[in-house]
Structure 1
Amino acid sequence: MMEMLANLPILMGAPEGAAASGGSGQMMTTFVTFGLVILIFYFLIIRPQNKKQKDAKRMLEALKKGDRVVSIGGIRGTVVSVKDQTVVLKVDDNTKLEFTKSAISTVVEQGKEEASSSKKDA
């Protein structure tokens, strides 16, 4: 009985001939599996995130006076001036707040200047 327990790992292992020929097949299957996982991550996570970052960058570069925007904190206002790194928003009749450009989450409505210029072009 003791001899059988001592030889148990040998008995459970693959035959020597199968191990030599099947090793390269298993390696290829492993590489294909990892390749598929990397492709799935790329198309489901990395690519959409890069697109979202590019869209946000374009939106921030296109900010101009008169745009109605929402900050990441939920504050709504109208752009009064745009500087290199900051944006000044008018949130009430006498209240202006200065935000970093990256704190602007969305543009709700384009400024009236662009709307009137697009009507002239049409």
Structure 2
Amino acid sequence: MFATPAYAQAADGVGGAFASFVPLILIFAIMYFLLIRPQQKKVKEHQKMVEALRRGDQVVTAGGLIGKVSKVKEDGELEVELSEGVKVRVVKSTISQVLNKTEPAKS
């Protein structure tokens, strides 16, 4: 006459197991579209900006220094001139903003 706990749990079946994962799947989808995807987009834009740096561009570093690129090195470094005669080596990825772009040289 009374249902035992084993029968009550078995009545839930496969549909109940899937239904318990639906909220978890929805949370992951929301997190992906609101957090992960925009961050990946931002990183790609920053990489494009860093790869497009050339001599003469005025840049802002992550530390807040403003200077002009005087030399682009192959090993991920830049030489930035902060003022006349003051040049510093900077890692490319620490460039946060490009203020003024130079026009490409005409061939």
Common fold, TM-score beyond 0.5?
yes
Give the C-alpha shift of residue 16 in structure 1: 5.2
Percent identity of equivalent pairs? 39
TM, length-normalised to structure 1: 0.74
TM-score (norm 2): 0.83
- Look up the match of 1:120: none
Runs (4+) of structure 1 exceeding 3 A deviation are 14-18
Match of 1:75 among 53, 59, 65: 65
Tell me the matched-pair count. 103
2:92 pairs with 1:105: no
Residue type of the partner of 2:82? V
- Of 67, 75, 90, the residue aligned with 2:81 is 90
Q: Which residue of 2 aligns with 1:52?
A: 42
**CA deviation after TM superposition for structure 1 residue 99, in Å:** 0.5
1:42 to 26, 29, 32: 32
Structure 1: state its 5+ residue gaps.
1-13, 118-122
